[in-house]
């Protein structure tokens, strides 16, 4: 809770898919055409459209901050050569308006279509870009599922170019925040941070401020760089005392925002500029405080004040943050609880047709959650289905893409299930993100050849009142496991306010500091919470988890001597992974970025995560590459190494020394102890087997004389 002269609360919607880092690097500092391949607007590289009619829908984002002039789509596709050209065509529509069409008549099956989109159709918002095909291979009655009826849309080879300019920002914190942190921005946000005296307290304030912006952006990247001077060609965040801020803006104290959180206006309202006192298209957000603690108060206010008020500045006087537990992260489920589908963002949904588009229920499980083989997550489904369907009609349920169970929908009278219990094996679920998908397949009653097939009755409704039950489990996991860090920050952000973690920044140069802020903002975006309890330090603490970000020469050698962060050379890959040769005199290449995770050399129960490179510029470039989810998802094991200039071809993963975090209860303690100490467990089993064999041998020796005497 925040006490100010105004009270405002609201949550922001999540963003669309992250576009490539390359596109960001080309256009983030200026205004020009936004170009991307169509695969960036969909999670698939190509779309196969089959049957007499098929379509694929892409979501085209136009941010509130953009004024679109025009757009051009270069569409490439391949179609079956068995199609009848005069009865087969491809159509491109925007929000239901046909923009272009062509016959599927290429003798070689290759086609290309150029689609021009006028700016009048590109208002801010998400637009449905639909590619639709109609396909026939015969003049007679056509089997709707004939295998020769297909067209493949080559999304990776197709491109979109959108010319736009930036609109002036309004003189309001709330409206500017809506435009600045708009989840429709395909390029994310490039932010320049100017921070006075980056000591520990001010760095904590900066981490909270930029992470709160990252959370508001949804899944869009927030690339943070630090500088000593303001650049008005970029969006800026200026933090410090009022005197420092006035000096950097070359203005008097009276010209600054009156509150400790506000927008700086270069021009005052006039009769000709009354609607835009900002005087530009770039934002300059100011956070002030007479001390580090007061600046921390302003940053916490920015994090918790959502939405921001419709005024140019506010004075934050007190912040009361609620306590959080490890299950407070966005989409995180608490073991031992039950959730309605509505709670998880799945509203009542109807499906119609023979094979409608599946629906998905998405959620996250803690990274260290451990289920045994006999554990089950349970669905209680409320659903109804129409009459006149074949007995083969079914609702298929899959967990993370693996078929798990099914519900029969057959019966000419239709029906309804209420609280239909469907147990799902816990082994199908994984730490982190999980998806349960519902895919109805509904078949009409058979008719004669070329007879009209009724499909309007093929309907099923899945209620949002359906329930998911999550059983209790243990918290125990094998480490190092860098993939868990990028799922939800585990173990450093196991408490999502980061209150159990200390960030150490080595030499403390601006690029290393920016790299640290980017990593924290990246994880906070995944968790949906700002790091209100984070701590920065110049020296390594004696206990707790540590995030160390700095150049290689700044690493405390006594702390990393037993880790993979030693001088070495890359050896031949072994099944996709690479060994690191310890003790080698050759040094890793200068342009390599290294990310390593290992057991704390001080406590043995905590974890270090170290991001380093030979040069601080390489360090920041490497962290910026991690905003790409495709690269981030490949980080695993004990250390990941890549060249920021070419991460796809140079990324290598190294295994580290295994250790374990967490605890288990009941009979599982023995099992997990042996898993944590496999050689000890093997030795105990071997010794037990030898003792048993020796005992049986002695018993047989004693019984042999008695049997001999009896025989005599």
**538-566: b or e for each residue (b if 16 or more CB lie within 10 Å)?**
eebbeebbbbbbbbbebbeeebbeebbbb
pLDDT on residue 52: 92
Which CATH class, in words, describes the domain spanning 168-319? Answer: alpha beta
Is the pLDDT at 166 greater than 80, yes or no? yes
| Max CA distance (Å), the chain | 128
pLDDT on residue 43: 81
The winner for highest mean pLDDT among 25-39, 262-276, 597-611 is 597-611
- Give the tens place of pLDDT for each residue, 342-370: 999 999 999 998 888 899 999 999 999 99
Q: Is 91 exposed, middle or buried (0-12, 13-18, 19+ CB in 10 A)?
A: middle
Instruction: Compute CA 277 distance to the chain's CA centroid, rounded to the nearest angstrom.
Output: 37
Check if CATH label 3.40.630.40 holds for domain 351-446+457-475. Answer: no
Q: What is the mean pLDDT of residues 424-451?
A: 88
pLDDT on residue 447: 60
Those residues with Cβ within 8 angstroms of residue 436's Cβ, 6 or more apart along the chain or in another chain: 360, 361, 362, 379, 397, 398, 399, 404, 424, 468
The residues facing 134 across adjacent strands are 53, 89
Is the pLDDT at 582 greater than 70, yes or no? no
- What does the block give as tokens for 363? 């959620």
- Higher-pLDDT residue of 646, 680: 646
Distance CA 622, CA 624 (A): 5
Q: Across the chain, how many H-helices and E-strands are there?
A: 13, 38
- What does the block give as tokens for 536? 């920065």
Q: What is the mean pLDDT of residues 173-177?
A: 95
The set of long-range contacts for 252-256, using a CB threshold of 8 Å and a minimum separation of 24, is: 256/286, 256/288
- Give the tens place of pLDDT for each residue, 538-564: 899 988 999 999 999 999 888 887 788
Distance CA 440, CA 708 (A): 74
- Give the tens place of pLDDT for each residue, 82-98: 999 999 999 999 999 99
Whole-number Cα distances in Å, 247 to 194, 196, 222, 229, 315? 12, 11, 27, 10, 21
Query: From its phi and psi, is residue 662 left (phi > 0), alpha (psi between -120 and 50) or beta?
Result: left
Distance CA 369, CA 432 (A): 9
Residues 505 and 534: beta-carbon distance below 8 Å: no
pLDDT on residue 354: 84
Q: What is the mean pLDDT of residues 652-660?
A: 91
Angle at which helix 510-527 crosses helix 200-216, to 10 degrees, equals 40
pLDDT on residue 62: 97
Those residues with Cβ within 8 angstroms of residue 107's Cβ, 6 or more apart along the chain or in another chain: 81
- What does the block give as tokens for 48? 């196969």
pLDDT on residue 705: 65
For residue 263, give the nearest of 279, 247, 244, 274 by alpha carbon.
Answer: 279
pLDDT on residue 675: 55
Tell me the pLDDT of the chain averaged across its residues: 87
pLDDT on residue 676: 55
**String of DSSP letters for 612-659:** EESSHHHHHHHHHHTTSHHHHTT--SSEEEE-TTSHHHH-EEE----E
Is the pLDDT at 435 greater than 90, yes or no? yes
pLDDT on residue 562: 76
Which CATH class, in words, describes the domain spanning 21-166? Answer: mainly beta
pLDDT on residue 594: 95
Helix (H, G, I), strand (E, B) or coil at 43: coil
Query: From its phi and psi, is residue 96 left (phi > 0), alpha (psi between -120 and 50) or beta?
Result: left
Q: What is the dihedral of CA 588, 593, 596, 602, to 10 degrees?
A: 80
Selected from 3.10.450, 3.40.630, 3.40.50, 3.30.379, the CATH number assigned to the domain covering 481-657 reads: 3.30.379
- Give the tens place of pLDDT for each residue, 101-130: 999 999 999 999 999 999 999 999 999 999
Q: What is the mean pLDDT of residues 299-312?
A: 94
Angle at 225 between CA 219 and CA 229, to 5 degrees: 140
Is the pLDDT at 154 greater than 90, yes or no? yes
Residues 329 and 496: beta-carbon distance below 8 Å: yes
Phi, psi (deg, nearest 5) at residue 589: -60, 150
Q: What is the mean pLDDT of residues 53-76?
A: 96
pLDDT on residue 174: 95
Q: Is 471 exposed, middle or buried (0-12, 13-18, 19+ CB in 10 A)?
A: middle
Those residues with Cβ within 8 angstroms of residue 628's Cβ, 6 or more apart along the chain or in another chain: 18, 20, 21, 221, 647
pLDDT on residue 619: 97
DSSP 461: E
pLDDT on residue 296: 97
pLDDT on residue 708: 55
Residues 191 and 223: beta-carbon distance below 8 Å: yes
């Amino acid at each position: 809770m925040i006490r100010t002269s105004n009270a405002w609360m609201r949550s922001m919607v999540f963003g669309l898919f992250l576009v490539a880092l390359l596109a960001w690097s080309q256009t983030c500092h200026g205004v020009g055409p936004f170009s991307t391949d169509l695969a960036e607007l969909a999670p698939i590289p190509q779309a196969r459209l089959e049957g007499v009619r098929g379509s694929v829908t892409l979501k085209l984002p136009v941010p509130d901050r953009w004024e679109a002039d025009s757009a051009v789509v270069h569409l490439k596709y391949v179609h079956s050569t068995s199609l009848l050209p005069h009865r087969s065509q491809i159509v491109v529509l925007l929000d239901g308006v046909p923009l272009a069409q062509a016959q599927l008549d290429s003798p070689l099956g290759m086609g290309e279509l150029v689609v021009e989109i006028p700016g009048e159709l590109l208002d801010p918002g998400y637009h449905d870009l639909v590619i639709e095909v109609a396909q026939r291979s015969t003049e007679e009655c056509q089997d709707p599922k004939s295998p020769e009826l297909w067209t493949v849309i080559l999304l990776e080879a197709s491109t979109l170019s959108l010319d736009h300019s930036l609109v002036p920002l309004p003189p309001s914190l709330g409206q500017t925040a809506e435009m600045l942190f708009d989840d429709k921005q395909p390029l994310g946000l490039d932010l320049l941070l100017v921070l006075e005296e980056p000591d520990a307290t001010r760095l904590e304030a900066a981490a909270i401020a930029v992470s709160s912006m990252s959370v508001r952006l949804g899944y869009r990247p927030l690339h943070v760089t630090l500088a000593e001077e303001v650049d008005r060609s970029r969006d800026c965040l200026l933090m410090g005392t009022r005197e420092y801020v006035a000096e950097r803006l070359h203005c008097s104290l009276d010209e600054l925002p009156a509150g400790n959180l506000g927008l700086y206006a270069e021009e005052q309202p006039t009769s000709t500029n009354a609607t835009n006192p900002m005087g530009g298209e770039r934002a300059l957000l100011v956070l002030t405080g007479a001390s580090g603690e007061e600046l921390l108060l302003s940053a916490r206010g920015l994090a918790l004040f959502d939405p921001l008020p419709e005024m140019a500045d506010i004075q934050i006087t007190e912040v009361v943050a609620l306590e959080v537990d490890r299950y407070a992260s966005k989409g995180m489920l608490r073991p031992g609880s039950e959730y309605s589908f509505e709670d998880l963002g799945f509203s009542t949904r109807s499906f119609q047709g023979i094979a409608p588009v599946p629906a998905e229920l998405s959620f996250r499980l803690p990274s260290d959650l451990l289920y045994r083989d006999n554990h089950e997550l349970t669905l209680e489904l409320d659903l109804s289905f129409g009459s006149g369907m074949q007995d083969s009609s079914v609702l298929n349920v899959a967990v993370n893409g693996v078929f798990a169970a099914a519900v029969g929908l057959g019966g000419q009278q239709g029906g309804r299930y209420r609280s239909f219990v469907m147990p799902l094996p816990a082994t199908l679920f994984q730490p982190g993100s999980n998806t349960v998908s519902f895919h109805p397949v509904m078949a009409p009653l058979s008719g004669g050849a070329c007879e009209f097939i009724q499909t309007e009755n093929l309907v099923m409704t899945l209620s949002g009142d359906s329930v998911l039950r999550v059983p209790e489990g243990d918290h125990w996991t094998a480490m190092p496991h860098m993939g868990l860090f990028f799922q939800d920050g585990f173990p450093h952000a196991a408490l999502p306010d980061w209150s159990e973690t200390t960030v150490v920044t080595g030499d403390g140069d601006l690029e290393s500091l920016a790299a640290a802020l980017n990593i924290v903002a990246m994880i906070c975006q995944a968790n949906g919470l700002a790091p209100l309890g984070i701590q920065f330090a110049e020296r390594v603490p004696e206990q707790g988890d540590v995030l160390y970000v700095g150049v290689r020469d700044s690493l405390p050698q006594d702390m990393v001597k037993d880790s993979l962060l030693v001088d070495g050379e890359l050896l031949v890959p072994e099944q996709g992974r690479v060994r690191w040769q310890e003790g080698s005199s050759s040094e890793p290449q200068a342009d390599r970025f290294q990310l390593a995770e290992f057991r704390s050399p001080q406590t043995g129960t905590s974890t270090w995560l170290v991001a380093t490179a030979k040069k601080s510029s390489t360090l920041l470039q490497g962290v910026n590459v991690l905003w790409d989810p495709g690269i981030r998802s490949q980080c695993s094991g004990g250390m990941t190494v890549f060249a920021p200039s070419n991460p796809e071809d140079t990324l290598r993963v190294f295994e580290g020394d295994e250790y374990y975090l967490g605890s288990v209860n009941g009979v599982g303690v023995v099992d997990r102890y042996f898993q944590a100490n496999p050689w000890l467990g093997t030795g105990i089993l071997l010794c037990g087997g030898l003792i048993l064999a020796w005992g049986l041998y002695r018993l047989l020796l004693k019984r042999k004389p008695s049997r001999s005497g009896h025989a005599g």
